[in-house]
Amino acid sequence: MPVVRFTQEHEWIRVEDGIGVVGITDYAQQQLGDVVFVELPAVGTKLSKGEQAAVVESVKAASEVYAPVSGEVVGVNDALADEPGQVNAGPMDDGWFLKIRLSSETELAELMDEAAYAELVRSLG
């Protein structure tokens, strides 16, 4: 069963068999508004936890997407080049950004579970 964790910066990661799928949360896409462009990293890029992994631009603003864990990019969602609105339509489904092979699964313990993330969002009112 996949493990899902969240960051303070509103990224999510769903990990199964050492590979994490990364995107932004529903809260983040709502704050951004209509997504018009997504810049993704190249496959093979090595990322450190907290490092900029992608950029998402909306009609309101541009925002960085940070790596929730360290590892190597092993896939990107090329469909977002033609259909960046998938980020709005399904941020945790078809709107994912990249896949990363985790350097260490211990970093997942530093991230929030769904209940803790929901509490964070509630606190933002």
C-beta atoms surrounding 49 within 10 Å: 17
How many folded domains does the chain comprise? 1
* CATH for 56: 2.40.50.100
The model's pLDDT over 1-49, given as tens digits with 9 standing for 90+, comes to: 899 999 999 999 999 999 999 999 999 999 999 999 999 999 999 999 9
CB 80 within 8 A of CB 69: no
Q: Residue 119: is its pLDDT beyond 90?
A: yes
Structural domain span for residue 108: 3-124
The model carries a pTM of 0.96
Contacts 24+ apart (CB under 8 A), 31-34: 32/56, 32/58, 32/60, 32/61, 32/63, 33/58, 33/59, 33/60, 34/58, 34/59, 34/85, 34/88
pLDDT band at 113 (very low <50, low <70, confident <90, very high): very high
Give the dihedral of Cα atoms 36, 7, 106, 90; nearest 10 deg.
-40
